[in-house]
Chain A
């Protein structure tokens, strides 16, 4: 079967697919980690500034 041939890679399937698998994992981590970090940074900054704003308006009242 053609699909089987594709996955067996002429007997080198374990080597080929494990290296592609490791590559996929490392690259995905490199996408996910910075996206999570960007969101966290924005959230933290917003929180910090809204706290600062509340303090400020407290003083005014």
Chain B
């Protein structure tokens, strides 16, 4: 099985480094714009909910964090798998750099959900399937991060981490479908179900802005992390020396 040639070029560190400078800047700008629109829409423009009043506004950070916690894990596991099979350094770097961001999103989803649950459900925490499986996701991220620092050799660490990430991928559908498979305290999906989303348009639009803001936030901060790692990996190559302005004089 071979990867297409353009993908190999994409995976070439120097090419990716230059590209990422541009992408992370633009993703950052879009992210800030989306955050401003989403926060203004969600906190000011959107009306209070008919049952939950203003407390439903926690949704605007809870839902995007929860979605991103799953999305980032998928990226981490797939990149890890690609790194494992084709030994592409860049895929290993992407997987490793995603872990702290994904762990942050998972943490946010759990904490904001807990703060939301106290006034609405009447409890900070319950051991229902959705909450428990999301907590397991946080432990998977933390296990992955611990594994990365446990090995001296980065490439060995990347392989070990990829296997952990691939094993943990089984948790992702469980988190997603937990509210449908079992009777949980957590309510069912609002937007991702197949028929019409059960949220009023005036409340949905700010949510979509926030979702987009979180996604671009991930892209932008991921690429900054990836660049540092590329520099460390590739520090002996001529393009890095040239980039850092150290080549003058040596020849």
Contacts and interface: CB of A to CB of B under 8 A. Distances in A.
In the complex, are there CB atoms of A and B closer than 8 Å?
Answer: yes
A48 B134 CA distance: 43
Residue among B48, B61, B119 with most chain A CB within 10 A: B61
A45 B61 contact: no
Given A6-B44, A34-B224, A42-B244, A16 B108 contact: no
B241 interface: yes
Contacts of A27: 104, 217
Interface residues of B, number: 38
B244 A49 contact: yes
Interface of B: 43-44, 48, 53-55, 57-58, 61-62, 65, 100-101, 104, 107-108, 111-112, 115-116, 118-119, 217, 221, 224-225, 227-228, 231-232, 235, 240-241, 244-246, 249-250
Interface residues of A, number: 32
B231 A16 contact: no
Contacts, number: 91
A28 B44 CA distance: 22
A48 B228 CA distance: 16
A9 B43 CA distance: 9
A26 interface: yes
A49 B238 CA distance: 12
A37 B221 CA distance: 12
A43 to B, nearest CB: 10
A53 B248 CA distance: 10
B94 to A, nearest CB: 14
Given A19-B62, A34-B221, A37-B225, A56 B250 contact: yes
